[in-house]
């Protein structure tokens, strides 16, 4: 299938391009490089041995999108492009709504004008808010998001659902990711956060490589087994494969499909520290700090629906996630600047 991958130079997008090529699809990458390096493209090509056509275009640029659609003639779009930093979204809500929602509206309009009505959208477990029950199934009601980033995901789910309802030619897949970590086994592509990482795993790997002094654990008084927050960490390569499996829901009449992409297993912050130490032999010094605003105690998925409908299930365990995150970080201490 010819697939346009927006945000395909980013963390999850680049891993998905690898898996698409390995599965025999033809991905085309579109990215404005706001949070990515063009070097990713060469690294993906080195992994798969295939060319990756790349377009430096912004999803808000209608003319640029029209040119790409005229040339590529995609049958489907996997839509990763967007801003994703939770704290930044609280400080810059306009920029988040304009980029994520404005950009998606333009993209979807160009898609329908070119007769391409198949989209897989990167949503997030954040749409469940403080979840009504655990493990979280797709039937769990959407909740109150605690930041504008989360609202862009929740609103875009609604927008794409409404568009599909109004025009049955659309096939829409909403994938709700839990916490993606790890990296490709080659150690040549991975997560490359700007500045001090917000997320747990890149923070830990930067402590391990000596760029940061110690981990700050945000609260140990949650109602969880050891008091620290529990999350469903998923290997990014498993997540990427979930997109390949989800393509089967882009057939005529499929309509709207919603899937959690998680492992169904929860690990606490201290579990992650212990597993990282066991996988790498490196000690991670840490201190307990107050809770981070907006955090919830526990969030993990029921991954059954994706297994039953798509035949997809995460294969990597926490050890592989830690080993692979470390291989990427230790061989690229400065990300793509090395
Ligand atoms: P990322 O920042 O690495 O990738 C996003 C890519 O989109 C970047 O390469 C960026 O340059 C590009 N981009 C941003 N705005 C753009 C625009 N206007 N036009 C064109 N390109 C643009 O992030 P990621 O972790 O790979 O996340 C991919 C998607 O998955 C995002 O939509 C994110 O919100 C979603 N998501 C991520 C996580 C996570 O924890 N990483 C969890 C749930 C959902
Ligand atoms: C995990 C756990 C922290 C950093 C975020 C977004 C969510 C989704 C994934 C996109 C929590 C603790 C973290 C640190 C810590 N993104 N922690 N010290 O918050 O579950 O989800 O990324 O959609 O929308 O909110 O992930 O990695 O930030 O935190 O103690 O330095 O680690 O409190 O319990 P989170 P995270």
Angle, CA 63 vertex, CA 26 and CA 193 arms, to 5°? 60
Counting as low any pLDDT under 50, the low residues of the chain are none
Q: Which atom of ligand 1 is nearest to the CA of 35?
A: 11
Give yes or no for residue 198 CB within 6 A of ligand 2. yes
From 149, 203, 267, 300, the catalytic residue: 149
CB of 156 sitting under 6 A from ligand 2: no
Coil, helix or strand for 160?
helix
The alpha carbon of residue 37 and the mean position of all alpha carbons in its chain are separated, in whole angstroms, by: 17
Q: Burial code of 49-71, b = ≥16 C-beta within 10 A, e = fewer?
A: eeebebbebbbbeeebbeebbee
What is the per-residue DSSP string for 309-334?
HH-------HHHHHHHHHHHHHH-TT
Q: Which atom of ligand 2 is nearest to the CA of 84?
A: 10
The residue whose CA is least distant from atom 13 of ligand 1 is 81
Tell me, in angstroms, the distance from the centre of ligand 2 to residue 231's CA: 8
259 is catalytic: no
Atom of ligand 1 minimally distant from the CA of 57: 20
> Ligand 1 centre and the CA of 278: distance in Å?
30
CB of residue 330 inside a 6 A radius of ligand 2: no
CA 241 and chain centroid, separation: 12
Q: Please give the Cα distance from 141 to 17 (Å, whole number).
A: 32
**How far apart are alpha carbons 209 and 260 in whole angstroms?**
32
Contact 289, 219 (CB under 8 A): yes
Question: Candidates 203, 229, 230, 232: which one to mutate for ligand 2, based on the most atoms within 8 Å of Cβ?
Answer: 229
| Residue 289 main-chain phi, psi, to 5 deg | -110, 175
Q: With a 6 A CB cut-off, is 176 part of the ligand 2 pocket? A: no
The number of residues in the chain equals 338
Instruction: Look at residue 338 in the predicted model and tell me its pLDDT.
Output: 74
Q: Measured in angstroms, how far is the CA atom of residue 98 from the centroid of ligand 2? A: 24
Atom of ligand 1 nearest to the CA of 124: 43
Q: Both tokens of residue 247?
A: 């393509």
């Amino acid at each position: 299938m010819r697939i346009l991958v927006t945000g395909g130079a980013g963390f999850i997008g680049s891993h998905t391009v690898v898996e698409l090529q390995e599965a025999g699809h033809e991905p085309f990458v579109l990215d404005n490089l706001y949070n990515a390096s063009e070097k990713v493209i060469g690294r993906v090509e080195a992994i798969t041995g295939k060319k990756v056509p790349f377009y430096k275009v912004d999803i808000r640029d209608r003319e640029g999108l029209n040119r790409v659609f005229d040339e590529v003639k995609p049958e489907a779009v996997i839509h990763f492009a967007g801003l994703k930093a939770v704290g930044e979204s609280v400080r810059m809500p306009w920029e988040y709504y304009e980029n994520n929602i404005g950009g998606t509206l333009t993209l979807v309009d160009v898609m329908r004008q070119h007769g391409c009505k198949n989209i897989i959208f990167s949503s997030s477990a954040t749409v469940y808010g403080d979840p009504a029950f655990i493990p979280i199934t797709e039937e769990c009601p959407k909740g109150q998001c605690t930041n504008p980033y989360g609202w862009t995901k929740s609103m875009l789910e609604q927008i794409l659902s409404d568009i599909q309802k109004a025009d049955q030619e659309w096939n829409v897949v909403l994938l709700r990711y839990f916490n993606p970590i790890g990296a490709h086994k080659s150690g040549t592509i991975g997560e490359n956060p700007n500045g001090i990482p917000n997320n747990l795993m890149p923070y830990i790997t930067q402590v391990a490589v000596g760029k940061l002094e110690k981990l700050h654990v945000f609260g140990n008084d949650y109602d969880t087994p050891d008091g620290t927050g529990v999350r469903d960490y998923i290997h990014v390569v498993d997540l990427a494969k979930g997109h390949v499996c989800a393509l089967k829901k882009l057939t005529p009449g499929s309509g709207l499909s919603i899937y959690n992409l998680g492992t169904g297993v929860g690990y606490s912050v201290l579990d992650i520290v212990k597993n990282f130490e066991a996988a790498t032999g490196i000690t991670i010094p840490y201190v307990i700090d107050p809770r981070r605003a907006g955090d919830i105690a526990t969030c993990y998925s029921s991954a059954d629906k994706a297994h039953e409908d798509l035949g997809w299930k995460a294969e990597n365990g926490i050890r592989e996630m830690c080993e692979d995150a470390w291989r990427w970080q230790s061989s690229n201490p400065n990300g793509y600047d090395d």
